[in-house]
Structure 1
Amino acid sequence: MIKATKQDRDVAIDILVSAFKNYDIENSINFVVKPDKWRVKRMRVLIGYLFDTSMLFGEVCFSDDKKACLMIKYSERVKTTPETIFLDLKLAFRCIGISRLGKVLNRQRVAKRHWVREKHVVPVILGVAEQAQGSGTGARFMLDVNRHYKKNTLPAVLDTASELNVQLYSKFGFRTYHMDESLGFKLYFMRRD
């Protein structure tokens, strides 16, 4: 496993955009990214935002062949700064779109209400480059990630609207601790201790 530096930003964006650009299922990326002819460009803005905030408040890791990428944040490090305000505004204008901002902020409000209050790790996004999917890269990377974070005592906490992701995360030891339907769809809150 390779720990990313700021110079790896474009590599991370390329991996994760290729991993998710053809997904038309309900997921967090499709919820945030404005669905128009600039969708892939907007996805690059979103993944860039996730990279920048993960580097500020957590870390970004690659598989040894740089075909898979994981971004995480540590809850106790997350704070509002002038830099994060700038990043949030850039995301709002260049990715989400003003007309959809209320919907995205409402989802974030619901998520914050149900996240655990104790210190925790947030797996922000994990993906395998499109050309490496189905090759075992993702499975090997997950084994490396588990070994790397074995001594971590903090729970890992995430939310997802995708029932497919619930099944996938369950295979990696996550359990659903809450489900919310106030947004008109199911939002699952999961943790792994």
Structure 2
Amino acid sequence: MKRATYSDRKEVIRILSGSFSENKSVSYLVGSRAGRNQRIDRLMEYAFDECMDFGVVYISEDMKACALVLYPEKKKTTCKSILRNVKLVLSVVGLFNVLKILKKESIVAKAQRAERLKYYVWFVAVDISFQSQGIGSHLMSELIKDSVEMKRQLILETSTERNLPFYVANGLSVYTDEDVGYRLYFLKY
């Protein structure tokens, strides 16, 4: 895995959008009305840019998998981040859903416990054409290794119950789950 650059942005967004098109958490944000796929792309653009500014984006050498990692304590309010958030509300979430999303984010923030600095894996994905070939396990092992070297606790959440065995097999454990309009599982390493 290598650090992504802005020249990898389009490919990272393609991988993420394809992998998360049926995800409950993503659907909760983007809704089901017309233009859904475009809103998913805008969400992934937002996440990519946030992680480039306040974390790191990784892409596999073969360009088949990626991960967006956020270091929450590094997030700060800037003109750029304010504009990005406004764009997210207007082009992805919609004004009428802001309160619903803020409530969910409050629940997530309370549930995200860590004993040390966080290594928050916001999104991790494998190109849908190459899933179930060990690429995701390899990427997870690289992320775990990176988090250990940085002395940060790897945390993530998933709404996809069928992915829980994958995460557990890769050394993560579920430490809680919450109802945020759907069941959301919180994992750590």
The question of whether the paired residues in 1 share the 8 Å contact of 2:13 and 2:41 is answered with: yes
Deviation, structure 1 residue 128:
1.0
The question of whether the paired residues in 2 share the 8 Å contact of 1:34 and 1:97 is answered with: no
Aligned twin of 2:178 = 180
Counterparts of 1:90 and 1:108, CA distance in 2:
18
Aligned twin of 1:39 = 36
Aligned twin of 1:101 = 98
- Root-mean-square deviation (CA, aligned residues, Å) is 2.0
Report the 3-state secondary structure (helix = DSSP H, G, I; strand = E; otherwise coil) of the residue aligned with 1:99: helix
The question of whether the paired residues in 1 share the 8 Å contact of 2:117 and 2:151 is answered with: no
Structure 1: which 5+ runs fail to align? Answer: none
Which range is displaced more, 163-172 or 79-88? 163-172
Aligned twin of 1:122 = 120
Report the 3-state secondary structure (helix = DSSP H, G, I; strand = E; otherwise coil) of the residue aligned with 2:149: coil
Aligned twin of 1:137 = 135
Number of aligned residue pairs: give it: 188
The runs of at least 4 aligned residues of structure 1 exceeding 6 Å deviation read none
The question of whether the paired residues in 2 share the 8 Å contact of 1:176 and 1:188 is answered with: yes
Which range is displaced more, 141-150 or 61-70? 141-150
Aligned twin of 2:52 = 55
Counterparts of 1:48 and 1:107, CA distance in 2:
21
Q: Tell me which of 68, 72, 75 is aligned to 1:75.
A: 72
Counterparts of 2:84 and 2:155, CA distance in 1:
23
Distance 1:34 1:140, change over 3 A: same
Distance 1:173 1:134, change over 3 A: closer
Q: Tell me which of 61, 65, 74 is aligned to 1:64.
A: 61
Structure 2: which 5+ runs fail to align? Answer: none
Distance 1:68 1:97, change over 3 A: same
Paired letter, 2:13: I
TM-score, scaled relative to structure 1: 0.87
Counterparts of 1:128 and 1:75, CA distance in 2:
24
1:79-112 per-position Cα deviation (integer Å, ceiling 9, x unaligned): 2222111111111110112222221111001111
Deviation, structure 1 residue 140:
3.1
The question of whether the paired residues in 1 share the 8 Å contact of 2:118 and 2:155 is answered with: yes
Distance 1:148 1:188, change over 3 A: closer
Report the 3-state secondary structure (helix = DSSP H, G, I; strand = E; otherwise coil) of the residue aligned with 1:173: coil
Distance 1:39 1:173, change over 3 A: same
Report the 3-state secondary structure (helix = DSSP H, G, I; strand = E; otherwise coil) of the residue aligned with 2:88: helix
Paired letter, 2:119: V
Counterparts of 2:182 and 2:65, CA distance in 1:
29
TM-score, scaled relative to structure 2: 0.88
Which range is displaced more, 139-148 or 163-172? 139-148
* Percentage of pairs with the same residue: 28
The question of whether the paired residues in 1 share the 8 Å contact of 2:30 and 2:39 is answered with: yes
1:143-168 per-position Cα deviation (integer Å, ceiling 9, x unaligned): 44344444232111222333223333
